[in-house]
Chains A and B, each alone.
Chain A
Amino acid sequence: MTAQKLSLAKGLNAGLRKAMEHDPKVVLMGEDVGKLGGVFRITEGLQKDFGEDRVIDTPLAESGIVGTAIGLALRGYRPVVEIQFDGFIYPAFDQIISQVSKMHARSLGHLRLPLVIRVPFGGGIGAVEHHSESNEAYFAHTAGLRVVTCADPADAYWMIQQAVASDDPVLFYEPKRRYHERAEVELDEDAGAPLPLNSARVARAGDDLTVLTYGPMVKTCLDAAGAAQGEGKSLEVIDLRSLSPLDTETIFTSVRKTGRCVVVHEAPTFLAMGAELAAQVQRECFYSLEAPVLRVGGYNIPYPPSRFEEDFLPDLDRILDSVDQALAF
């Protein structure tokens, strides 16, 4: 019996532990990741078991963390960097865009940066400013980076290991409001190979409309699909998992089947993942579409104070409202 009931946070912790056991070159770095185990306890117990050289409590400087991780990677290490909160990644933006994403290309393939940058993202936890952002589109826009996000404990456990094993740099987005969601996780690879890191997953099959979503909104969309079922509407929910590259085959197959598509994410909609998805879907599924692709996301304002966030974030009602609009075409 290798299945265990784990929270998403524990899934990440177990996955990191396995990656560290598997490869002595894997090192974790970040603010408070050692003794404290990270502010979300994702790295809890790892410094105790692997030592301070492999679980590094860094000074409080994000550019410094990512920049030194680059140097460690150039020396042959596989650093896994924790950015404490989404809104704190911007001091490292320069290193990620100017250096991490380009190193392999500008060295004509001589150098690799097998680097994972973990980012707890999204809102819904009543946090103060800069702690609830969804900035994945900045990085998905940048060639040379891979951007993935897990939505449940099983994916947390497997995807973090796959990200560490990737020879390309990976931005690994973790839905922080789902850290404590629990589910059975099969820990043994022999029990069935996990989906590849680049693959989307049909989280719920349906016939009438495709919902494309990822990260924290997967659960919300599944709830919406459950509610829609009661009204006789069959929604197919696709968890994208990988934002760059996109698993377009899974996406297009679904939309060609249902003829309708709604994209849901927490990020403000302007120039966000939904814009790219809508553009690709209308081009590739044009003759199958019965309605325009609609987007549900955060409003195009700075992330609001937490008393407003329930109205800012897409919820079941807003999703179903767009579903109804798409179905009414």
Chain B
Amino acid sequence: MPDDAMEPAPQAPAPVRHHETVVTGPMEHDITDGGPDMVQFVDGDGNRLPTSPANEAYAKIVEDLTPEDGRSMYRDLVLVRRIDAEGHALQRQGELGLWPSLLGQEAAQVGAGRAMRRQDYAFPGYREHGVAWCRDVPPENLLGMFRGVNHGGWDSNANNFHLYTIVIGNQMLHATGYAMGIQRDGDVGTGDPDRDAAVMAFTGDGGTAQGDFNEALVFAGVANAPLVFFVQNNQWAISEPNYKQFRIPPYQRARGFGFPGVRVDGNDVLAVYAVTKAALDAARAGQGPTLIEAFTYRMGAHTTSDDPTKYRIAAEVDIWREKDPITRMRGFLASKGYADEAFFDAVDKEADELAARIRKACQEMPNPPKPAMFDNVYVDPHPVVEREKAEFIAYQASFEGGK
């Protein structure tokens, strides 16, 4: 009998388990590492990274950018951070009721926003102040809803930037329907760069759990709609980390819906710009949707009402501070000789002026006249609203000296 007959019969391999299946055990998870698929062009110190399998498809787009483009992106990053800081400060001073900070996500939003063309349309959540800036939406417009004088109120069609949407995920379907409208208008795949249009739908890692998000992926896939889903994975849905939200990262989910998904370093503005531009170009050309996951980090609280020290450790924040998008872009521009101290100082000065402008606009923002709350409930007159408005006005007037 040959020796090998004495070998024990081979056992079936144990099923591969990537993480604990017990209910309470978190899976292995490094939230500071986006993995080998992540598209990246500039490292945390501002060094241009070499071509890699992940980034080579986008390298040409980055190479085509001029030093002026780089400076302009840097300026956007700084100004957007300053808008955000001012919103936060105004909340602390009692001028705003709430502010959702984008701190740490500037590159994700500026890279995405700048990749859009005039005729493209953005459907934001409520943290997309940086996208708004890139769409030329005056930052003052964003304050009204957080001050409580309106629920948004800006004209979305003025800048192709839809109203903020607070119910997580609702807007993904609106974006999909809008993109279906673009298809019906014939504004896809004509080859005319001023005509072909696409839509960007913004949400966060938390939003990927919503039914509406997943339904939007179904509808967009089926319609082959000109649409880019842009998920800012900032690692935290208020207090819930990624591992409580999904078992595969969002970019891998796209394949299951029939279109590509890409993970990009959300703190690398050049990489975000390049990946988004490629996806938008494909969408406008009639090649259908893409899901982009911008791997980033929410440096601040969920909103001014939140206290992240209750659920996350400072060491994690420190690691991400090393990946700061502005420091990184500044290092890149400086090391390449694309910008000097005078330029950086001028941008800082511009940011101070912008902040002062926003602060003043906020402080001077009047309360609308009270009867205005009855306006625009319906397009055509509605007898109940009309009657109650009249009753309200009469009631208010019944107080001596008015109420």
Query: Which residues of A does B touch, CB under 8 Å?
Result: 27, 53, 58-59, 61, 63-64, 66-77, 79, 91, 94-95, 98-99, 102-112, 143-144, 146, 166-168, 244-246, 248
Asked whether B215 lies within 8 Å of A59 as measured between CB atoms, the reply is yes
Asked whether A59 lies within 8 Å of B173 as measured between CB atoms, the reply is no
Closest to A108 in B: B153
Asked whether B182 lies within 8 Å of A75 as measured between CB atoms, the reply is yes
Closest to B217 in A: A64
Binds A, one of B99-107, B162-170, B334-342: B162-170
Asked whether A68 lies within 8 Å of B180 as measured between CB atoms, the reply is yes
Question: 23 interchain pairs (CB within 8 A)?
Answer: A59-B222, A63-B173, A63-B215, A64-B176, A67-B215, A68-B173, A68-B177, A68-B180, A71-B173, A71-B177, A71-B179, A74-B177, A75-B177, A94-B167, A107-B155, A107-B156, A108-B375, A110-B154, A111-B156, A112-B379, A144-B377, A166-B380, A168-B379
What residues of chain A lie closer than 8 Å to B216, measured between beta carbons?
A: 64, 67-68
- B169: min CB distance to chain A, Å: 9
Q: Which of A68, A106, A146 contacts B152 (CB 8 A)?
A: A106
With a 10 A CB-CB cut-off, give which of A69, A103, A246 has the most chain B CB atoms: A103
| Docked complex Cα distance between A72 and B222 (Å) | 16
* CB of B378 within 8 Å of the partner chain: yes
Asked whether A168 lies within 8 Å of B380 as measured between CB atoms, the reply is yes
Given known A67-B173, A74-B177, A168-B379, contact A110–B215 (CB-CB < 8 A): no
What residues of chain A lie closer than 8 Å to B256, measured between beta carbons?
A: none
What residues of chain A lie closer than 8 Å to B211, measured between beta carbons?
A: 61, 63, 91
Given known A98-B167, A98-B170, A107-B156, contact A70–B177 (CB-CB < 8 A): yes
Binds A, one of B7-15, B31-39, B353-361, B381-389: B381-389
- A273: min CB distance to chain B, Å: 14
Given known A64-B216, A109-B375, contact A72–B382 (CB-CB < 8 A): no
Interface string of B174-198 (1 = CB under 8 A from A): 1111111111110000000000000
What residues of chain A lie closer than 8 Å to B215, measured between beta carbons?
A: 59, 61, 63-64, 67
Tell me the chain B residues, 22-68 only, with Cβ under 8 Å from chain A. Answer: none
Closest to B386 in A: A245
Knowing that A99-B170, A106-B152 are A-B contacts, what are 13 other residue pairs whose CB atoms are under 8 Å apart, sorted by A's residue number? A64-B173, A70-B177, A71-B177, A75-B178, A107-B155, A108-B375, A109-B375, A109-B376, A111-B157, A111-B163, A146-B382, A166-B380, A167-B380
